[in-house]
Every structure is written in C-alpha cells, then in structure tokens.
Amino acid sequence: MSHLTCFKAYDIRGVVPDELDEALAYRIARAYAALFSPRRVAIGRDVRPSGTSLAAALTRGFVDAGVDVVDIGLCGTEEVYFATFHLKLDGGIMVTASHNPSEYNGMKLVREQAIPISSETGLQEIARLVTEERFEDKAERPGEVKRLDIRSAYVSHLMGYVESERLRPLRIACNPGNGTAGLVLEHLKERLPFEFIVRYGEPDGTFPNGVPNPLLPENRSATADLVRDTGADLGIAWDGDFDRCFFFD
C-alpha cells in the first residue's frame, strides 16, 4: 500500500495528506493498542498545521480501543518522552516531522519508560496491523481523555541536571526556528541566570523564517548573525520539536 511509505526505520514521517492522514493515524493508534495492550498513553504534537487533526485521530483510535489518553498538547518530543516515564504511562506518541518542511508530519512512538519503538522493536508490526486492518470491535469501556500541562514538571526535571548556583550570567542567542523550543525557553529564563536573546521564538507551523533545520548551512546565518550583532557569549538553534540543536561560539 503506497500510503505506508511513511513508515521509516525509526519513526513515521510523510507528506500530509498524501502519505499520512487522519484515517491512517486512527489505524496506527488501533494497531499500537492491539500490539502493546497499553492502559494509558501520552499524546503530544508540534506546531505543524496538520498536528491538531492527526493527534485527534490518534486519540479517537486509542479511545475506541479502550485506552486512556493523556493529552499534553503543543510540546516538544522530549516532553512526550518525559510525560511517559514521569507519569508512569504505558507509552506515548509525539506527532511531529522534526526538521522537515511544514507539509510533512509524522510520529515518534515509545513504550513504557519512553523506550523507543523502531522497525526492529514493533514499528513494522504496527505497519502490518495497519495494512491488515483486522482490529477487534470497539472496547466496551471507551478510553478517557485527560488534558494535562506537564511543562512546569518538565522544566523542574531539566533543572535537576544542573547546579544553577555555579552558572555564570551568560548572554545566549536563541533561535527556536518558530518551533516549540520557545515555549520551554519562557519557563527556563525564570530559573537560569542567563539573558536569552530570542529570534523566531513564536511557534508558527508554517515556518515563515525557513525550515527549522540547523543542519542546513543556509539556515545557520540567522543565529550566527544574532550572536555577532548582540555580542552574545554563544548561540543555540533548535529544530522544530527541539530534540536536536546546534551550538554557535
């Protein structure tokens, strides 16, 4: 089936709606539930315009399978991973296409303790179940959906990795690339002795200032120029779901 070209080695990713749509997202949730029998899962999404409907379709699939959903809303991939282990859930799905253009979307799947699901650990089985579409009838007890804001807990977790009293008051040029990193920066600036100089911090899934991919040489000048223009001590640029970044001296 051509639409299953969106199943990659480590995630699901493709052009919406040609390779990935709401109907497929629903079946992915049903297949995940059939394969792993979770009780509760987390669902989050990045800023792409298609993320809301894809996350809603996943939610419907889980609810129909009798699985409870913890909806953490607009977030970064690391926040779904955090929610999964912090809340002791049975798994999680992040709706994101990471550093790809806005017409793409996808999913990153984990099991309990945020263990990644790749082609060798279940993703191909999910693809097979999606193709066969032989799911059991809807559960007698539909799953429940709970909206939960975990950002404060996530930021507190991040702060556990550093000794803030030993940090120097640096000036840092930050470029979230209109992805979701800017949402976390707003919380971190209250907890760190740094001055954040932010460019393209507003989440915008149309990516008006270019695809948030720091690996592309043509995308580096925005951050490099910000470092030079402001005399910052260093610069950081993130991709769309902030699971990777580039540092600038």
Q: Tell me what the mean pLDDT of segment 208-223 comes to.
A: 93
Q: Is 164 a catalytic residue?
A: no
pTM of the predicted model, to two decimals?
A: 0.95
Cα 103 to Cα 18: distance, rounded to the nearest angstrom: 10
Q: Tell me what the mean pLDDT of segment 92-99 comes to.
A: 96
Contact between 177 and 200 under an 8 Å Cβ cutoff? The reply is: yes
Categorize the per-residue pLDDT at 22 as very low, low, confident or very high, splitting at 50, 70 and 90.
very high
Cα 107 to Cα 237: distance, rounded to the nearest angstrom: 22
Q: In this predicted model, what pLDDT tens digit does every residue of 39-93 receive, in sequence order? A: 999 999 999 999 999 999 999 999 999 999 999 999 999 999 999 999 999 999 9
130-138 CB contacts, 8 Å cutoff, 24+ apart? 130/4, 130/24, 130/27, 130/28, 130/31, 131/1, 131/4, 133/27, 135/27, 135/30, 135/31, 135/34, 135/65, 136/34, 136/65, 138/64, 138/65, 138/66
Q: Is 113 left (phi over 0), alpha (psi -120 to 50) or beta?
A: left
What pairing do the DSSP bridges indicate for beta strands 195-198 and 171-175? parallel
Cα 56 to Cα 43: distance, rounded to the nearest angstrom: 9
Catalytic residue of the set 98, 102, 118, 164 = 98
pLDDT of residue 134: 84
User: Quick check: 179 pLDDT over 70?
Assistant: yes
Contact between 77 and 40 under an 8 Å Cβ cutoff? The reply is: no
Cα 200 to Cα 179: distance, rounded to the nearest angstrom: 8
User: Quick check: 2 pLDDT over 60?
Assistant: no
99-103 CB contacts, 8 Å cutoff, 24+ apart? 99/211, 99/212, 99/213, 99/214, 99/215, 99/239, 99/240, 99/244, 100/13, 100/211, 100/213, 100/240, 101/207, 101/211, 102/48, 102/49, 102/205, 102/206, 102/207, 102/211, 103/15, 103/16
User: Quick check: 3 pLDDT over 70?
Assistant: no
Cα 225 to Cα 185: distance, rounded to the nearest angstrom: 20
